Structure 1
Amino acid sequence: MFRIRRNSLRLRLLVSLGAVSLLVMALTWFMHGLLLRETARDFLGDRLRQEAEYRLAQLRQNADPVPAPTLPSSLSAEVFHHLYVLKRGTRLTTSHPAWLPALAPHLDGPDESLLDVHLEGRHLLVLRRTFSLEGTAGVLLIGESFDSVEEGLAALHWWIGAIAGLVLLALSLLNGLAVNAALRPLDLLQRQLAELRNGQRQRLRMKVPQEFRPLVSQLNRLMDSQERRLVRSRNAVADLSHALKTPLTAVMQALRGKRELDEARRERLLTRLTLMQELMESHLRQARLAGPGGGQHTRIKRELDQLFDMFRSLYPAKHFNMALGDAEDVCIDMERQDFLEMIGIVLDNAGKWASESVWLALTLNQCVELKIQDDGPGVPPEWLPLLGRRGQRLDEGRPGNGIGLSILLELVEQYQGEVSFQAASTGGLEVTIRLPLAMLSAKPPIG
């Protein structure tokens, strides 16, 4: 009926529910036995109290020192199966002499006590009642056999146990049906994942129980991220192919030609090859970007320390300064390589143009704001709107291919942030990166 595999969630749920049901049934059955016995004991105790009141009333009316029920030949003892022991002063009579040694110790004790007396495998329920008649104290013990009652209770208890076993079996079948129905969304999700793997589906359906929606949503975001990464990689390859086509053709023609390579032509070829290398590195760097939805976290201070150490070694004549304020322990939901690429592009650009110093400041206000500025020559105001355009180079005298800032704009846009360029108070360029506060993470990265 059910497809149950070892270590499956269905099997675990069935075993857990079965164990809980068995425990509840066993506890209920055990409590039923106790309560049933106590109920029967209380019922017999009430009957013995009524019998004691009746016998004491007769004793007061007749003033008979030896009442008939207490004699061994008593008809009451034979009909009602009651055992009587009467102690009045120093006189002691009993309807069952064989029980007297077992009952004698109970003649002394509290009034209205219900006692359990055992003798030779027999169980007797005995009520002890004290009285006073004509100034003489007395004790009346009335007992009744509890054996037959216990036999009936045991039979009833086991019948209840058999019924409980049938109920437990039915409950196990119902649990199986309930578990199977509850896990159908997982079977549907498994089929959708198979269709996704086979290319028959692009996304997972969101018509699932509330508990599964975060999982399906996360899987859809992950697939969207992978699709964006694939598109970005394809675009990077296409751009790289287009960018390398012309200089590569020129280099090949120069090498195939019969003209001798003089120093000027050698320099031109070397320049073209250098440009090709930079283009290839830039496009491959762009293809490595992960984008949002990867579920990774980055601690800003740790990564900035590594970046600053690297750029201080690349530009030993420049001073790189960092001010994080109260944001030293900030962690954001961004893939580490993306963060390094984002800040590395701006720091590298600032290191190339700075005269002496580069500054980075991190603030948290309405957003996560990273402000980087240098003390270089800066950019004319009319050129600021051109920054970030793909392939746009404002100064051919410095190394670069004009792709870095375009990658920066594209990457920040993927994380729903923004980049602005303006003249810095130090005379150079100021680049401000703003990321939404929603990217702040309370979960620090591992390691």
Structure 2
Amino acid sequence: MSVLRTNSLEHRLHLGLALSLIVLMGLLWLFGAQSIQELTEDFIASRLEHDSEALLAAMAVKHQQFKVRPARVNQIYRRPYSGHYYLIRHQDGTETHSRSLWDFKLHIPMLPVGDSRRMHMLGPEAQQLLVYVAGFKKQGRELTVAVAEDLQPIKQQRDLFLRNFALLALLGLVALLLVQGMVVRHSFRRLEPLRDDVKSLATGDEKLLCEDVPDEMSPLVKEINHLLQLLTRRNKRSRNALGNLAHALKAPMNLLMRYFDTTATAENQIDRSLAGQQVERVRLLIDRELKRARLAGSGTMSQRFDPHIDLQDLLNVLKQIYQDKQLSIEAVVAMDQPPFGDREDILELLGNLLDNACKWANKKVRCTLSGEDRLQILVEDDGEGLGDEDVSRLTRRGSRLDENMEGQGLGLAIVSDVVTLYEGELKFDRSPELRGLRVSVVLNRI
């Protein structure tokens, strides 16, 4: 069960999105806390800077020493341990501090005029102080003024805000996870018709899969539909091939049965001759099917026909078959010619066309392939060519131009079947260069 859940795309999406939201909320909380801390400290430091300037203005010279006039200073600096303190260090080393410090000593460095610094230190009763220290010059005398404020009240308010924010973020995270789960489940519900279609294939239903699916699944569904179309076409071709073979074998087998059923008479010699001819026809049919298997070669289902590889292999086989004629079999293929169609379909089509051309050719056969979206095939030979009356019956199942040639005349009819399956065009005429038969085929990419 755990393996199934791990391999579940829906489960992985839930887990990935949940972790992403948790990390996002965590980072938001951390950056928020850091930003609030810096913002509050900047605000307090700005206020302390203003207090230091006000404190400097409240100082007056009395008996050759600077004294702070109480009326000019906020009363909070007079209440012991109020959390607001100041300390003034004079050039001669003496110090003036607020009454709020009582007997607590702040250790403040002496700063040059114009220099300022922000410091953290412990104050009375372990208060966490933010201290603003600056160097001034007044009436020709240098002094350092330090103003401090307890951060604890601000920190308490900040911590309360962060706790509330964390609680709100947690509730928001739960809500987002629930919404995410609904969205993911709703998205995967669109795949249920596809799952039902796939299940129906197991029951023998050969209908194509519904292509109304998300874009991510569309290439897979289209490829499966392409495979289903290939299977359908191959089943149809297989049934046609079996029917053709059965029809071709029926007549010679009937004659053989009649021969073996007859008694020994004077006519047996003639019957034996006829039987021998029919047995030879059966042998030729078997040889033809074996030749088709050699021409088709080996390959996986739905493998594309690569003209740069498969066509050359086909020509090598034909050269071996017709080596006694010493034919020149030439292939003309563009360098950028892409793979096209089902390998078995195109090999069977080219195999039958070239096999027919090799039978009729004197010395030369040429095959030309071109086109991208549509595959254009030209097969030419230097044989005797065709008359107009022969063209109309070439694709008729079982028709032949020379009854003395091998085979049962099914090759060009099979070519016509393949062309029909690819919604293409088939045309016969005379080759203007080789002067023999030229077969033009145009196949659409499906």
Report whether the alignment pairs 1:335 with 2:342.
yes
| CA displacement at 1:370 relative to structure 2 | 2.6
Instruction: Name 1:111's counterpart in structure 2.
Output: 115
Amino acid at match of 1:223: L
SS in 2 for 1:5: helix
Structure 1 range deviating more: 15-24 or 49-58: 49-58
SS in 2 for 1:300: coil
Amino acid at match of 1:175: Q
CA–CA separation in structure 1 for the residues paired with 2:148 and 2:50: 12
* Matched pairs, number: 426
SS in 2 for 1:127: strand
Instruction: Name 2:67's counterpart in structure 1.
Output: 66
| CA displacement at 1:399 relative to structure 2 | 1.1
Instruction: Name 1:46's counterpart in structure 2.
Output: 46
Structure 1 range deviating more: 60-69 or 190-199: 60-69
SS in 1 for 2:379: strand
Alignment of 1:271-350 (within 5 A): 271-279=277-285, 295-316=302-323, 317-324=325-332, 327-350=334-357
Pick the aligned partner of 1:403 from 398, 406, 410: 410
CA–CA separation in structure 2 for the residues paired with 1:38 and 1:55: 25
Native 8 Å contact 1:417 1:434 kept in 2: yes
Give the TM-score taking structure 2 as reference length: 0.84
Q: Deviation per CA, 1:173-199, whole angstroms, max 9, x where unpaired?
A: 221111111110112321232234335
Pick the aligned partner of 2:441 from 430, 433, 437: 433
Native 8 Å contact 1:318 1:357 kept in 2: no
Distance 1:318 1:36, change over 3 A: same
Q: Deviation per CA, 1:227-246, whole angstroms, max 9, x where unpaired?
A: 33323322333333333223
Report whether the alignment pairs 1:94 with 2:102.
no
Q: CA RMSD in A?
A: 3.4
CA–CA separation in structure 1 for the residues paired with 2:22 and 2:411: 67
CA–CA separation in structure 1 for the residues paired with 2:207 and 2:76: 95
Instruction: Name 1:253's counterpart in structure 2.
Output: 258
Native 8 Å contact 2:367 2:378 kept in 1: yes
Native 8 Å contact 2:230 2:302 kept in 1: no
Structure 1 range deviating more: 90-99 or 378-387: 90-99
Q: Deviation per CA, 1:88-132, whole angstroms, max 9, x where unpaired?
A: 32132334464433x2x3645853433223579653211123322
Instruction: Name 1:370's counterpart in structure 2.
Output: 377
CA–CA separation in structure 2 for the residues paired with 1:48 and 1:366: 79
Give the TM-score taking structure 1 as reference length: 0.83
Distance 1:267 1:303, change over 3 A: farther
| CA displacement at 1:155 relative to structure 2 | 3.7
Native 8 Å contact 2:116 2:135 kept in 1: yes
Native 8 Å contact 2:307 2:337 kept in 1: yes
| CA displacement at 1:139 relative to structure 2 | 1.6
CA–CA separation in structure 2 for the residues paired with 1:341 and 1:203: 25
CA–CA separation in structure 1 for the residues paired with 2:77 and 2:363: 124
Amino acid at match of 1:167: G
| CA displacement at 1:215 relative to structure 2 | 3.8
Q: Which has the higher contact order (CA 8 A, sep 6+)?
A: 1
Report whether the alignment pairs 1:181 with 2:183.
no
Report whether the alignment pairs 1:22 with 2:26.
no
| CA displacement at 1:359 relative to structure 2 | 2.3
Amino acid at match of 2:181: G
Instruction: Name 2:231's counterpart in structure 1.
Output: 226
Unaligned runs of 5+ in 2: none
Pick the aligned partner of 1:127 from 123, 126, 132: 132
Distance 1:232 1:426, change over 3 A: closer
Native 8 Å contact 1:236 1:283 kept in 2: no
Unaligned runs of 5+ in 1: 440-447
| CA displacement at 1:75 relative to structure 2 | 5.2
Pick the aligned partner of 1:172 from 154, 177, 191: 177
